[in-house]
């Protein structure tokens, strides 16, 4: 069965991973992840991919191609995430596709708790000014290679944006490093506060 792949889905993939992503996208579309794999993922990323630990990202509702690409880069050592090294050791392409399909289909649960009106308003203004909705879509649901931001853990968003801004490394999107250049820590905190609680 042929799986449609929009051209933009691979347009931003590093050359070293392009062939891997094409191979992943080409098949295994209906495979189910092994329960032990899901259990390992959910020990950090939470039930159905909605992380309960603030510094870990939620996987629920992330675009399938985005998850596939990140897992391939971690497996191949192109993106260094120490906590993921042992988990990704020996994982097959088929397992990556199955996990990506599974978590892409899970509903994202926005951060609970009331918003700080001032931070929320400031974050919304900064997100609009920075045109975050251009790549991440107006509802911040993400697309193709671009991750979902809506409902993501606030603390994780802050630490990720700081990493992009201050010390982007291998496997990190250089577009984001440029986009966040010049934003203060307070700006990033406000944007994270807004996105973590974003609802359509």
161-200 confidence digits (pLDDT tens)? 999 999 877 767 788 999 999 999 999 999 999 999 998 6
Alpha-carbon span 149 to 152, nearest angstrom: 5
Same domain, 81 and 131: no
Same domain, 69 and 95: yes
Domain of residue 45, residue span: 8-104
Is 83 within the bounds of a domain?
yes
144-158 confidence digits (pLDDT tens)? 999 999 999 999 999
Is 28 within the bounds of a domain?
yes
Shortest CA distance to 105 belongs to which of 25, 166, 49, 186?
49
93 pLDDT above the threshold of 80: yes
How many domains does the chain contain in total?
2
Is 109 within the bounds of a domain?
no
Same domain, 70 and 130: no
Cβ atoms of 75 and 116 closer than 8 Å: no
2-22 confidence digits (pLDDT tens)? 444 443 444 444 544 444 544
- Give the residue, 143 or 7, on which the prediction is more confident: 143
Is 47 within the bounds of a domain?
yes
Angle between helix 64-75 and 15-26 (nearest 10): 120
Looking at residue 18, its pLDDT comes to 47
40-57 confidence digits (pLDDT tens)? 999 999 999 999 999 999
CATH of the domain at 88: 1.10.760.10
Same domain, 188 and 129: yes
- Give the residue, 113 or 138, on which the prediction is more confident: 138
Helices (H), 31-151: 35-45, 64-75, 82-88, 93-104, 117-129, 132-136
Alpha-carbon span 2 to 51, nearest angstrom: 33
Same domain, 72 and 134: no
Same domain, 163 and 82: no
| Percentage of the chain lying above the pLDDT 90 cut | 70
Mean pLDDT, the chain, integer: 86
Same domain, 19 and 95: yes
C-alpha distances (whole Å) from 22 to each of 12, 88, 123, 142 are 13, 19, 36, 20
């Amino acid at each position: 069965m042929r799986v449609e792949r929009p051209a933009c889905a691979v347009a931003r993939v590093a050359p070293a991973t392009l062939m891997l992503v094409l191979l992943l996208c080409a098949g295994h579309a209906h495979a189910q992840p092994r329960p032990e794999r899901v259990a390992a993922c959910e020990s950090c990323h939470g039930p159905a991919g909605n992380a309960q630990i603030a510094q870990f990202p939620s996987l629920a509702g992330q675009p399938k191609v985005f998850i596939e690409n990140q897992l391939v880069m971690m497996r191949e050592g192109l993106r260094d995430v120490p906590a993921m090294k042992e988990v990704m050791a020996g994982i097959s392409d088929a397992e990556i596709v199955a996990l990506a399909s599974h978590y892409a289909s899970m509903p994202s649960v926005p951060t609970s708790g009331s918003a700080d009106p001032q931070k929320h308003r400031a974050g919304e203004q900064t997100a609009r000014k920075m045109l975050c909705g251009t790549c991440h879509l107006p509802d911040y649901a993400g697309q193709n290679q671009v991750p979902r931001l809506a409902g993501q853990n606030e603390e994780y968003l802050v630490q990720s944006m700081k990493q992009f801004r201050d010390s982007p490394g291998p496997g990190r999107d250089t577009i984001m490093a440029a986009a966040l250049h010049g934003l203060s820590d307070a700006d990033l905190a406000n944007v994270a506060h807004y996105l973590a609680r974003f609802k359509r």
